[in-house]
Amino acid sequence: MDRINHVAIPVNDIADAVKWYQDSFSCNVAYLDDTWALLDFENISLALVLPEQHAAHFAIERKDAANFGSLTLHRDKTKSVYIEDPWSNNLEILQINKNG
């Protein structure tokens, strides 16, 4: 069974959004810079992204992510490809270790 890694939502100010989510909910900051943040909740991660850089999307982990298109290496060392489903929803197909 595939696993949803994270859901990404656009926000206008990363720092303000991180503060609001941390003040409102129990979550940990896994990554933070001026352009995006990743918050870990118990069951899933939430990515906060700038709308001019990423559309709202959810990421699915796959061992065969490259079958969906050319993978891009990201600054957090993950590799993925962005696609649309037939209903124009944005998905990120995230490469996971082929042995794990």
CATH number at residue 54: 3.10.180.10
Is residue 100 included in any domain, yes or no?
Answer: no
pLDDT score of 67 more than 90: yes
Q: Taking residues 62-72, what's their average pLDDT?
A: 97
- Amino acid letter for position 43: N
The reported pTM is: 0.88
Q: Which pLDDT value is given to residue 13? A: 97
Q: How many domains does the chain have?
A: 1
Is residue 47 included in any domain, yes or no?
Answer: yes
Q: Which pLDDT value is given to residue 14? A: 98
Q: Taking residues 39-50, what's their average pLDDT?
A: 97
Structural domain that includes position 70: 3-95
Is residue 7 included in any domain, yes or no?
Answer: yes
Report whether 54 contacts 36 (CB < 8 A). Answer: yes
Closest CA to 96 of 67, 68, 64, 71: 64
Pair type for strands 79-84 and 90-95: antiparallel
Q: Which pLDDT value is given to residue 76? A: 81
Q: Which pLDDT value is given to residue 21? A: 98
Q: Taking residues 34-56, what's their average pLDDT?
A: 95
